[in-house]
Structure 1
Amino acid sequence: MFFVLCANKFPHIGGIKVLIYIEIPTIVSAELFVDVSPDELSIALLEDRRLVELRKEKIDIQFTVGDIYLGKVKKIMPGLNAAFVDVGYEKDAFLHYLDLGPQFRTLQKFLNMAKTAKKGGVDLHKIKTEMDIDKNGSIADVLSAGQEVMVQIAKEPISTKGPRLTSELSIAGRNLVLMPFSDKVSVSQKIKSAEERNRLKKLLISIKPKNFGVIVRTVAEGKRVAELDKELKTLTRRWDESTAKIFNLKPRALVVGEIGRTSAILRDIMSPDFNSIHISDKEMCKEVKEYVGLIAPDREKIVREFKGDTPLFDQFGIEKQIKALFGKTVSFKSGAYLIIEHTEAFHVIDVNSGNRSKNASSQENTALDVNLAAAEEIARQLRLRDMGGIIVVDFIDMQKAEHRQKVFEKMKEAMTPDRTKHNILPLSKFGLMQITRQRVRPELTIETDESCPTCFGTGKIAPAILLEEKLEDSLKRAVEQQKNKNLTLKVHPYVEAYLTKGFPSIFLKWRFRYGFALKLIASASLSFLEFKIFDNKNKNKKVDL
């Protein structure tokens, strides 16, 4: 970013005006938007008003990564060196021998003591640890069918597969990750200063309880001992309080639940760049404000409750970005576009120059320009859709090795903000780049194609002139069904404009007829002739007609 200052005339340099260019470093501003509906939670992260991350989850979803369950072994699979464990999901979860953790025997000893202990639980730091299991051992040596085990969700159910489990338990905080049944202290390698890493390691070794390990996260850099000690005590207290209830639990029960989804995202991505958090639900706003006050007391004021009638994502233009960024074809620069295909095994992304090639003075330079811009958009798409597994990118062919190297370096730079583990390989001589990205939850898929506005996908056309009567009839039945007039009608913006034009407008007549508590809201997420009616008194529950 540049600012241009125009100075006054200076006699000693000929009386001419002087233009002074001052370079100001660009500051990335981050905003979080949380939209809460009766059945779905939508979380959007914007950086400089550009959508970079999106989460859509059902309110009643279970088996979130980080949840710790009391499970029961259903079947031992010696050929896979793994076991299937019942944690309450429709399909048994998968637990491999290598995911048991070296201190599995100590974990089982603790579990057996906790099951028979009186109210108050068992102090882990007072337990004598058992020998580590053999890392080359067999699953049948340590587990048997019907055995109860404590397990943690490492990967959410994806497609036809059940959850992936681990017995190396951990509880994540803002600065630290607590590791019960371990004594190791590890420090994030992203902290570049060796002196700071040594300081943090010595500090945690001196304050952590016995039989608890700690991973020091990157955000802990520069933190004082009092702050880290407070968080460590909070995490150990959470472990003690949760495990104290084990004696009363039966298999398939949740032992330690991950914190709220919004708070978990804040815990991982909260940074000084955040300048606002908008939440459409009063209760969740209160919860997030308390959490922000805990991890960053001076930033509590950035959490704001959104009270507008227009849907949150429509008000801030997020819905429009979602429609543009999801789908098979994604445009990104001067006519260039990506084609994104998904298969069961991997994802394929094809880079196309579009109409850029028509005006290109140099094919090689055009290819480089488009590929560099594509690298940024591809990194954004991977975060947005949470694409995991193997991703193959077919860039536009470039003859020069230094240009292929530039694209490789650009991709690594663009992927730096991505918190998910990933690996990027240089371009092959065919212009293909391979990327692997850890997959811990199902990929986010949003259907951007809309149903035909006249037939709604049936192939038969209803008389469009009857839409007004259909809307009024639905409103009338909703008022009678709910026995209250505090309802909201959501329609496409074009239909909203039609219903509110003139005086008295059609909708104003409906308000006279059915009660002034009726509201009309335009929502770009609806197709042209689609509409929905919500009961405002019952937490905006959708009215089924």
Structure 2
Amino acid sequence: MSNELIIDVSPSHVEIALLENKRLVELNREDSNAKFAVGDIYLGKVKKIMPGLNAAFVDVGYEKDAFLHYLDLGPQFQTLNKFLKLAGSKKSKFVPVSKIQSDPDINKEGKITEVVKQGQSILVQIAKEPISTKGPRLTSEISVAGRNMVLMPFSDKVSVSQKIKSTEEKNRLKKLIQSIRPKRYGVIIRTAAEGKRVAELDQELKRLVAKFENAMAKLGRHTAPSLVLGELDRTIAMIRDVYTPDFGAIMINDQEAAIEIKDYLGTIAPEKKKILKYYSGRAPIFEHFGIDKQIKASFGKTVSFKSGAYLIIEHTEAFHVIDVNSGNRSKSGNQETNALEVNLAAADEIARQLRLRDMGGIIVIDFIDMHGNENRQKVFDKMKEAMGADRTKHNILPLSKFCLMQITRQRVRPEMNIDTTEVCPVCKGTGKVTPTVLFTEEIEQRVKFIFGELAKKRLTIQLHPFVAAYLKKGFPSRRLRWMLEFRKRVTVDEVGSLNFLESKYFDENREEIVF
């Protein structure tokens, strides 16, 4: 699999597109002045204690107070508070984490009123970004993420990613980290650490410890609420999380950002610095690499994916609903076989849509009905396989007898939502139309269906003069390419009375083919 990262930097925002085999699978957008990203560490002030919720509301500088539950305080919350007082003192010298004497763990069944007081300054980390009307969700189990590991101050545990399958490799990594980690620091070993040597892991561990302690040494300069340690910017963080040795290219249209990324690549994979390329073309970078077109085709209520089959994606306050439809697909064979084929293809597209839109919470999928238990199992297995590349925590339940599937997917950021409709050129903006860039693709799909599934011998297409001219322009034109591909005659007629996005199709007997 070949992975590519296309990065569009503008004064107002940064957009990052991840492609797998030229197919858009993830899209992230971050405003230039964005704050409260997952991983940011803040010095906050407790504004209100809620004993009934066993939680507190904390001021971290956002317009709404952030939410901190007792279970998110972490076992070593008292040790963290002791460290915060020492580090925040302007009189005493900074004491490293390894020199701090650990206090007993807080009671798992305890009450927040026992450990937190109103007006208290507290060190917290963003666990979920502000979503809809809710403020950020916080945790006091502080962590600092690196490429190969996640550093956990005030912990003594070492754990290994479940995605590393080899027991021998798990034991090797665990023993290695236990031998080099400083006291009072726990470590979560990430999948990327598989096969790495001790020198590389030791270097990263020291870098993460230094990063955390350098930020903590400056706590005396902060007054709550304030940002203490920011997560890497979204571009670097995404490269850190998604980078694999088979990454083929990283394209970016900003020289300053390109230098930062090249420096970061130099620390994690020096031999891959050459894959970074600066794009200086006149066309927008997303348009040049076909990203804009994929965005138009992938967002919106209806998403086509194979031979006329399509998904309908609806969003409610409680959950997301995805309906699988076979469309005008009319292959020969029994209904069960056709339903299985469409459902298997739908599973692939749904897994892509969840990553692309970053849909979280509860997702209910209505697959096409299948009667065989073995076919429902095949769709369930296919969905698990397709979701294997999704880094976000998720849980998939088997299909019910009504062919409904439930998925829960962790939500830490607002869902990516892009309006793909355009102002109607006919009614001057009183209505909306589907993206015009997809209209010619729709025509092409219908041409393939007419010659392939319906086996027609000749085709006449009636279109608005502007669209007809586009299909006939250049050499070879789209019309000529269709004729060469299907070895059938295709005529494109200009009809001024048709709307801009209206089309009609006639076979060799001049009988209209209705879609």
TM-score (structure 2 length as normaliser)? 0.83
Whether 2:115 is the aligned partner of 1:115: answer: no
* Residue in structure 2 matched with residue 75 of structure 1 by the alignment: 48
The answer to whether the aligner puts 1:160 opposite 2:133 as a matched pair is yes
Taking the aligned partners of 1:148 and 1:340, their CA distance within structure 2 comes to 44
Aligned to 2:263: 290
Match of 2:246 in 1: 273
**Hey, what does 1:90 align to over in structure 2?**
63
Q: 1:364 to 1:217 in 2, by over 3 A?
A: same
The answer to whether residue 123 in structure 2 is matched with residue 143 in structure 1 is no
Aligned runs of 1:390-405 on 2, under 5 Å? 390-405=362-377
Evaluate the alpha carbon distance shift between residue 324 and residue 120 of structure 1 in structure 2; reply closer, same or farther with a 3 A threshold: farther
1:213-252 to 2 correspondence within 5 Å? 213-252=186-225
Write the letter of the residue equivalent to 2:122.
Answer: V
TM-superposed deviation, 1:361: 2.2
Q: Which of 406, 411, 414 is residue 439 of structure 1 equivalent to? A: 411
Please provide the CA RMSD for this pair.
Answer: 1.6
* Cα distance in 1 for residues equivalent to 2:222 and 2:178: 33
In 2, Cα distance between the equivalents of 1:139 and 1:189? 32
Q: Which amino acid aligns with 1:230?
A: Q
Question: Aligned partners of 1:291 and 1:207: how far apart in 2?
Answer: 24
**SS at structure 1 position matched to 2:30:** strand
Q: What is the CA distance between 1:454 and its match in structure 2?
A: 6.3
Deviation for aligned residue 1:87: 0.2
What SS does the aligned partner of 1:88 have?
coil
The offset of 1:453, in angstroms, is 3.5
2:169 partner amino acid: E
Number of the residue aligned with 2:361? 389
Distance 2:420 2:161 in 1: 39
Q: 2:331 aligns with which of 359, 367, 370?
A: 359
CA contact (8 A) 1:121 1:240 kept: no
Aligned to 1:336: 309
Asked whether the equivalents of residues 186 and 215 of structure 1 are also in contact (C-alpha less than 8 Å), the reply is: yes
Classify the secondary structure of the residue corresponding to 2:328. Answer: helix
1:516 corresponding residue in structure 2:
none
Equivalent residue for 1:525? none
C-alpha distance in 2 between matches for 1:430 and 1:275: 43
> Which of 303, 311, 330 matches 2:276?
303
Q: How is 1:182-221 mapped onto 2 (pairs within 5 angstroms)?
A: 182-221=155-194
- Is the CA contact 2:30–2:234 (under 8 Å) kept in the aligned structure 1? no
In 2: Cα distance, 1:454 partner to 1:239 partner? 59
The answer to whether the Cα contact below 8 Å between 2:86 and 2:92 also exists between their aligned partners in 1 is: no
User: 1:316 and 2:289 equivalent?
Assistant: yes
1-side partners of 2:179 and 2:227: how far apart?
32
Q: What are the Cα deviations for residues 160-184 of structure 1, in whole angstroms up to 9, with x where unaligned?
A: 0000000000000000110001011
Deviations 1:341-391 (A, max 9, x none): 0001100000000111x3332101000000000000000000000000000
Q: CA deviation at 1:156?
A: 0.3
Deviation of residue 260 (structure 1)? Answer: 1.5
1:262 partnered with 2:243: no
Worse-superposed segment, 100-109 or 110-119: 110-119
CA contact (8 A) 1:371 1:407 kept: yes
Q: Secondary structure at the match of 1:354?
A: coil
- C-alpha displacement of 1:198: 1.1
2:322 pairs with one of 341, 349, 352: 349
Which runs of 5 or more structure 1 residues have no equivalent in the other structure? 1-27, 460-493, 499-527, 529-545
Q: Is the 8 A contact 1:119 1:247 kept in 2?
A: no
Q: Letter of the 1:284 partner, please give it.
A: A
Deviations 1:52-76 (CA, angstroms, capped at 9, x unpaired): 1101121111000000000000000
Distance change in 2, residues 1:126/1:368 (3 Å):
same
Cα distance in 2 for residues equivalent to 1:116 and 1:243: 11
Q: Does the CA-based 8 Å contact 1:119-1:244 persist in structure 2? A: no
Residues 1:375 and 2:338 aligned together: no
1:474-501 deviations in Å (ceiling 9; x for gaps) = xxxxxxxxxxxxxxxxxxxx9xx99xxx
Distance in 2 separating the partners of 1:50 and 1:164: 33
Partner in structure 2 of residue 170 of structure 1: 143
SS of alignment partner, residue 416 of structure 1: helix
Shift of 1:206: 1.0
CA distance in 2, matches of 1:117, 1:300: 42
Alignment partners' CA distance in 2, 1:43 and 1:188: 26
Q: Does the 8 Å contact 1:351/1:371 carry over to 2?
A: yes
Q: 1:297 to 1:165 in 2, by over 3 A?
A: same
- Identify the match of residue 426 of structure 1 among 395, 398, 415: 398
Letter in 2 for 1:256: L
Question: Equivalents in 2 of 1:389, 1:293: separation in Å?
Answer: 37
Deviations 1:190-238 (A, max 9, x none): 1111111111111111111111111111110111110000000000000
1:465 aligns with none
User: How big is the shift at 1:458?
Assistant: 5.7
The residue identity in structure 2 corresponding to 1:344 is E
CA distance in 2, matches of 1:157, 1:375: 30
**What is the CA-CA distance between 1:128 and the residue it aligns to?**
0.6
Secondary structure of the corresponding residue to residue 146 of structure 1: coil
Match of 2:452 in 1: none
* Cα distance in structure 2, aligned partners of 1:267 and 1:133: 33
Q: 1:267 to 1:348 in 2, by over 3 A?
A: same
Q: Does the CA contact (< 8 Å) of 1:118 and 1:247 recur in 2?
A: no
Q: Is the 8 A contact 1:203 1:225 kept in 2?
A: yes
- Give the aligned partner of residue 451 of structure 1: 423
Letter aligned with residue 50 of structure 2:
M
* Structure 2: tracts of 5 or more residues without a match: 432-465, 471-499, 501-515
Please give the alpha-carbon distance, in whole angstroms, between the structure 2 residues aligned to 1:166 and 1:436: 21
Secondary structure, in 3 states, of the residue corresponding to 1:251?
coil
TM-score (ref. length: structure 1): 0.78
The amino acid across from 2:395 in the alignment is: N
Q: Kindly indicate whether the alpha-carbon contact (under 8 Å) linking 1:174 and 1:268 is maintained by their aligned counterparts in 2.
A: yes
Distance 1:82 1:339, change over 3 A: same
Whole-Å Cα distance in 1 between the matches of residues 427 and 199 of structure 2? 64
Q: Contact between 1:119 and 1:245, CA under 8 Å: does it hold in 2?
A: no
Q: Distance in 1 between matches of 2:32 and 2:94?
A: 31
CA contact (8 A) 2:331 2:338 kept: no
